[in-house]
Structure 1
Amino acid sequence: MEGHQGQVVIRLPAEILPTCVTVQHIFQEVSPSGTISSAPRDIAVLGLYASRKEEIPLGSFTFDVRKEPIQTFVLTNNPPRAFQYIKFLVKSNWGHPKYTCIYRVQVHGKVVKQKKRFFNGLADVK
């Protein structure tokens, strides 16, 4: 993402009651620049309903570059219902002025409603 702040909205394959998120960055030793100042630092996670107009805060946390490059964070705010969209909001990074890198974000939780897709008359639950 350009700059030290940014956001990404993730469309989940089903409506999920989220419980935690996992964030991944690279090890400093394999970074082409030799630093990981582009890693996200302060992060907020919000649930979005289908209209994407109402945002429900699910939790905030700090990705610590001194720890492992894969970190899981429990979402502390119990959501009132499931979401199909999750906003991952990076409030700051570890000092890189031009961009912020996110290598992987995983959303964990309980599937409450699956979408059905049809292929040649057969339903395929995704």
Structure 2
Amino acid sequence: CWPMDGSSGYLGIDLAHPIHLHAVAISHAPASVAVDLRAAPRSLAVWGRLMTSQPHAALFLLGRFTYDIRAHQTMQTFDISRSLHPYRFQSFIVAVEDNWGFEDSTCLCRVRFHGK
């Protein structure tokens, strides 16, 4: 897993090619191997830079999500609004707004972008 200092932070991701984003998936280590489940992300926002011919394209809020450490699945998928499916994105910011109470660090084990 990738730890970041504190209970919040940002991760920037550039894909090799732009996609029509349909969902974002986030995972954290299962309870059986996690050092501290409180380090899992809780509230997240995902931003995307719209692919346009403009050199300074604006960021769009693609969604706000809650990762549930009590869920059976450690990989949790969050759908993006259908109204955003026609647009292409290549650069993303995953903003962890808070975690489950561990002040020292927050861990992201996997971030996936699903689309075409």
Match of 1:2 among 1, 5, 9: 5
Listed as ranges, the gaps of 5+ residues in structure 1 are: 111-126
Aligned residues: 108
- Measure the CA separation in 2 of the matches of 1:22 and 1:52: 27
1:19-98 mapped onto 2 (5 Å cutoff)? 19-31=22-34, 33=35, 35-49=36-50, 51=55, 54-67=58-71, 68-76=73-81, 78-79=83-84, 81-98=87-104
Listed as ranges, the gaps of 5+ residues in structure 2 are: none
The structure-2 alpha-carbon separation of the partners of 1:60 and 1:77, relative to structure 1 and needing over 3 Å to count, comes to farther
Partner of 2:17: 14
Partner of 1:113: none
Deviations 1:48-97 (A, max 9, x none): 14656621011111000001211111012633621110111111100010
The structure-2 alpha-carbon separation of the partners of 1:56 and 1:36, relative to structure 1 and needing over 3 Å to count, comes to same
The answer as to whether partners of 1:57 and 1:77 remain within 8 angstroms in 2 is no
RMSD: 1.6
Greater fraction strand: 2
Higher relative contact order (CA 8 A, sep 6+): 2
AA of the residue aligned to 1:56: F
State the TM-score, normalizing by the size of structure 2: 0.85
Matched position secondary structure for 1:66: coil
Match of 2:115 among 103, 109, 115: 109
